Structure 1
């Protein structure tokens, strides 16, 4: 029963996304993301029609990177949450990636490799970054 409800929610949610004017234009402009370096803006899904998957920057969970113009003991780290939906297999998974090389900045899910290249904007001293202002550059490749 839970799987049916989950699948129904998934279908309704992404149907709404695809029929929205602003989002559908973004999807059309970026309709081939497989194997490329792509930029994901927070909350805007990108669709690969060939491989039938959707990938989206869900949120920035933490951003403790050393701000520009500040001297820090270490460079810091940021953690992002990414949603991946494989439409062929009807699988939705969330995963986290980090900006610091000592942490997990890449992963493999459902025969796809993901690597976080950068998180923007970079923090500045005494300036807050709103969630909706974040974007990431990421590699997505089939393995």
Structure 2
């Protein structure tokens, strides 16, 4: 019986070592900071897109305050390539699973992901619209 258990453990270890990872590693996308109302170029898998943060409405819970909900920041971007442009609306809640929006530009589908919205609201002062910077990445789908 001991030999059978030992053989089974060795067989399982050998099979586990033989498994190959089929997933190819994805290149890490670098976020680009887009200031409010300043056209910024964002690289998107071989093509450069121009991104302009048009509007931002920040209802996130300020620092040092206990809130029932975290709130969100709603943003409107204007994204353009050499020939077309499109408006993209994103609601940022601080959750990587939901802080993105897909859009189509010149027949190509893209995903615009927001990773950070600065400055974070404080109780002592409200940030001016000109102070906002949003970190975005754009990838082809």
- Do both share a fold (TM > 0.5)? yes
Distance 1:52 1:46, change over 3 A: same
Distance 1:73 1:102, change over 3 A: farther
Looking at structure 2, the residues matched to 54 and 82 of structure 1 have their Cα atoms a distance apart, in angstroms, of 10
1:95 aligned onto 2:88: yes
Greater Cα shift, 93-102 or 133-142: 93-102
1:45 aligned onto 2:43: no
Gapped regions of structure 2 (runs ≥ 5): 1-28
- In the TM superposition, what are the counterparts of 1:1-143 in structure 2 within 5 Å? 35-47=29-41, 51-60=47-56, 62-87=57-82, 90-100=83-93, 101=95, 105-110=99-104, 111-143=109-141
**Pair member with larger Rg:** 2
Looking at structure 2, the residues matched to 109 and 65 of structure 1 have their Cα atoms a distance apart, in angstroms, of 25
Distance 1:119 1:48, change over 3 A: closer
Q: Which of the pair is proportionally richer in helix? A: 1
Can you list the C-alpha shifts for 1:69-115, whole angstroms capped at 9, x where unaligned? 1111111111011110121xx22111111111499521122222111
Tell me, what secondary structure is at the counterpart of 2:47?
Answer: coil
Looking at structure 2, the residues matched to 103 and 74 of structure 1 have their Cα atoms a distance apart, in angstroms, of 18
Gapped regions of structure 1 (runs ≥ 5): 1-34
Structure 1 segments of 4 or more deviating over 6 A?
Answer: none
Can you list the C-alpha shifts for 1:19-62, whole angstroms capped at 9, x where unaligned? xxxxxxxxxxxxxxxx53111111111235852421121221x2
What RMSD over aligned residues (CA atoms) do the two structures have, in Å? 2.2
